[in-house]
Amino acid sequence: MSRGRNYLRGYGCYFLLWLNLQMHTATPDWTETLQQARKARRWSQLELAMRVGVSQRHISFVECGRAKASRPLLIAWLRALDVPLAVQNAVLLKAGFAPAFGASRLGDPTLAQAHGALLNLLQAHDPMPALVLDAEWNLLHANRGAAWLLQTVLPGMAAHGPDACTNMLDLMAHPDGLMGAIRNLEEVGPALLAHVEDQVASLPALAPRVRAFAQALHMRMGPNALGRGLPVAGTPVLTTRFASPLGDLAFFSMFTTFGSPHDITLASLRVEHLFAADETTRQVVQAQVPA
């Protein structure tokens, strides 16, 4: 399931083209999407032609509207360019073909196997915290370690615990939320803000939450907050340090995603695994999270 590639690369270009496809329904501008997707990858027509197994001449003719691509060729073309699944569907529809990917709910029977794999990952990571998040940062699942951590650093959550209504960006931006519990906010805050601002290009629904997070961060850190997000010398990964009644707790994160999703919902999911960044944190978690 793990993917070692940055799927934010080129997403801003892809989203703008997807939006253009939705707004200009009378214009067959899906060919422009193909051109811009190739340019976002910095590939020549020849390189793309070699990857999908057609001539450079045919690539050129399709991009300029002089030739029609078949559905199998178009799917191979979009897959080679690593275009997001939602954009692939939009291009196929505009070209007159059926979409290639579904968007099932996570609880649907068709996703039962993948859903089970997510739950197994969470359970296997206990007692260390692990969360399942969707593209909009909604918390879909949390293991026992994650529930304990959130309730420890945010005692106000102890009454109800994390649930499907919890959004992690909202939790960061809330006046009594996670931002107040992070000891090294000057390091973590700007890095997270830069990350979610990149995501807005491919997912505009995030924009209100990102603005709220940015405003909350600026209120706590001042107008020069973004210029202070330099990593601490000698640390190989970004570590988040939380204040808690048990003392400071330090964690770093790794993410797991599905390797070859054929469903838009699965493509949007990620598991965040938190690991203890020091021995004190490891001992506290092991002592506090019930077996």
Question: What is the set of domains in the chain, with CATH numbers?
Answer: 11-94 (1.10.260.40), 112-288 (3.30.450)
Note the pLDDT of residue 260.
82
Alpha helices in the chain (DSSP H): 11-23, 30-40, 45-52, 56-63, 71-80, 85-94, 112-125, 144-153, 168-173, 185-200, 207-221, 264-268, 279-288
Tokens 């995603």 sit at which residue? 257
- The parts of the chain modelled with pLDDT lower than 70 are 1-28, 157-165, 201-202, 223-235
Distance CA 96, CA 30 (A): 10
Note the pLDDT of residue 237.
78
- Backbone φ and ψ for 27, nearest 5 degrees, come out as -110, 125
| C-alpha dist (Å) from residue 290 to 1, 13, 285, 286 | 28, 47, 9, 8
Note the pLDDT of residue 215.
93
Note the pLDDT of residue 104.
85
Note the pLDDT of residue 222.
78
Note the pLDDT of residue 259.
87
Note the pLDDT of residue 28.
43
Cβ-count burial 16-41 (b if 16+ within 10 Å, e if not): ebbebbeeeeeeebbbbbbbbbbebb
Note the pLDDT of residue 163.
52
Note the pLDDT of residue 77.
94
Note the pLDDT of residue 274.
97
Predicted model pTM: 0.73
Note the pLDDT of residue 88.
87
